[in-house]
A and B are shown apart, each in its own frame.
Chain A
């Protein structure tokens, strides 16, 4: 098994507040890893360090073969990321977004064109290509943003609450895309507050106040806590 993420005592403090406290964990290639926790537990803060946009206060992590503390640029080039808030430019249309992000990732215009056609066909968005992203329903935006995060074929993609506010039908379609990518060997690192989605992960971790308090497959965690659903595992740990 190939390790694609390895965090060692990864820590982040803001003043005297420690948001992420000595995380130690590994994620395997092609794994769907669910990164769960209560509001304010430190998920987004940890993710920002793992993708190289925030420096650890202490500890380190190796992501896609590079160290986040001193090879942040290489980390960024080799991963894909969808943030909790921002994923695409609202005032650009679908094509312009793909051209823009393709450009950032250093793709030439010919391969951008190929990717664009593939994405639009895959998501059935042919009729909407010229529409501003702003006017698309949230769920479609999120599916599009996921495809954009995969444009440069990263080894790992980080998804911060990609299905927050997305309806039940579209959420399931989103997870089909996740499965497809994972089957092709992409490692998926995802946060969610939907416990049915946590069931779709190979392994999950649950963070409480900056620390990982549980980490295993959904099945083992339910057994360990003697409960029948991940919701109950979460309730037991988070308060």
Chain B
């Protein structure tokens, strides 16, 4: 086991941020932590990176206890916090050099680890970090967290602010890092990214609700999801919001996803209802749920 979390809890005054969490993450696993804002993800990250003491429980990362062995632990992990601290007055290259130096390494030694992402900001390596765009800073922060080839990499929402093309490249890179014996523990608000993890844990209000592979989570989801396209998604949402059998309905890009409150129903009934309410070009289709559908459902509870 690369990560062994045993009954960890943490409170801030009267707010219980993390409640009795236990989790195991395997060697070289790409493990995703998924949950709404304020669910306790960052608190858990900080405990695992030895930056915050738990009130109870224990955790072991890459063979090191987060409390007793914190010094060794820090040498062996990489941590990219959601709100990172780059040196804004140092250049891109100086930042990276700085992080390499404190871990007794240099940029050349592990260049192939960071290449895929770093290459995109390398043309600007003489620019001050403070003058980079938001997404470029994110890429630099990731390079800095990786430059010492950690055994375990903690990434707290690493792709926030990263554009769609770079996000894809970023996840291709994570898959490559896995093959180089790096365990990755990552949180993300992007559900398409959650689907790319080996396993994911849903966390809400400090508790783990479910842990499994994305495909098993989808397979075990009990409700049917209907994809609906019409001439006006906005009006359709309003109509379905008042419909007696609606369990939930949410916009999903150019369509909307609908779940019914009955166990058994005919999707064509929904189509007819929308048409009776004056909506045109209605297409309804039963689809395989997406992780995002399941996220929405779990967050309701």
Contact = CB atoms under 8 A, between A and B. Distances in A.
B24 to A, nearest CB: 25
B165 A38 contact: yes
Contacts of B35: 167
B164 A193 contact: yes
A80 interface: no
Given A39-B135, A40-B136, A137-B37, A169 B163 contact: no
B139 interface: yes
A161 interface: yes
A135 B234 CA distance: 33
B189 interface: yes
Interface string A185-223: 000000001111001100000000000000000100000
B163 A193 contact: yes
A229 interface: yes
Contacts of B37: 137-140, 165-167, 170
B38 A195 contact: no
B165 A234 contact: yes
A44 B134 contact: yes
Contact of B251 (A14, A38, A200, A234): A200
B5 to A, nearest CB: 22
A84 B134 contact: yes
A84 B136 CA distance: 13
Interface string B202-236: 00000000000000000000000000000000100
A44 B137 CA distance: 14
Interface in B155-175: 157, 160-168
Contacts of B161: 39, 84, 161, 164-165, 193
A193 B162 contact: yes
B164 A39 contact: no
Interface in B130-156: 131-136, 138-139
B292 interface: yes
A168 interface: yes
A164 B168 CA distance: 17
B133 A169 contact: no
B189 A168 contact: yes
B87 interface: no
Contacts of B167: 193
B160 A37 contact: no
Contacts of A200: 251
Contact of B135 (A40, A85, A231): A40
Interface string A33-57: 0000111110110000000000000
B119 to A, nearest CB: 12
A136 B254 CA distance: 31
A218 B191 contact: no
Most chain B Cβ neighbours within 10 Å, of A38, A170, A179: A38
B82 interface: yes
A238 B163 contact: yes
A238 B167 CA distance: 12
B98 interface: no
A85 B86 CA distance: 14
Nearest to A163: B189
B163 A196 contact: no
B51 interface: no
Contact of B133 (A40, A166, A194, A239): A40
Contact of B191 (A168, A230, A235): A168
A105 interface: no
A127 to B, nearest CB: 13
Nearest to B42: A138
A24 to B, nearest CB: 22
Interface of B: 15, 35-38, 82, 120, 124, 131-136, 138-139, 157, 160-168, 189-191, 234, 250-254, 292, 295-296, 299
30 contacts: A14-B131, A37-B163, A38-B166, A39-B120, A39-B136, A39-B166, A40-B132, A40-B133, A135-B15, A137-B36, A140-B37, A161-B161, A167-B35, A167-B36, A167-B37, A167-B189, A167-B295, A168-B295, A168-B299, A172-B250, A175-B251, A193-B161, A195-B164, A195-B253, A196-B251, A196-B252, A196-B253, A235-B165, A235-B168, A238-B165
The 9 closest A-B pairs by CB, nearest first: A39-B135, A137-B38, A137-B37, A196-B253, A165-B160, A139-B37, A199-B253, A167-B36, A38-B163
Interface of A: 14, 37-41, 43-44, 84-85, 135-140, 161, 164-172, 175, 179, 193-196, 199-200, 218, 229-231, 234-235, 238-239
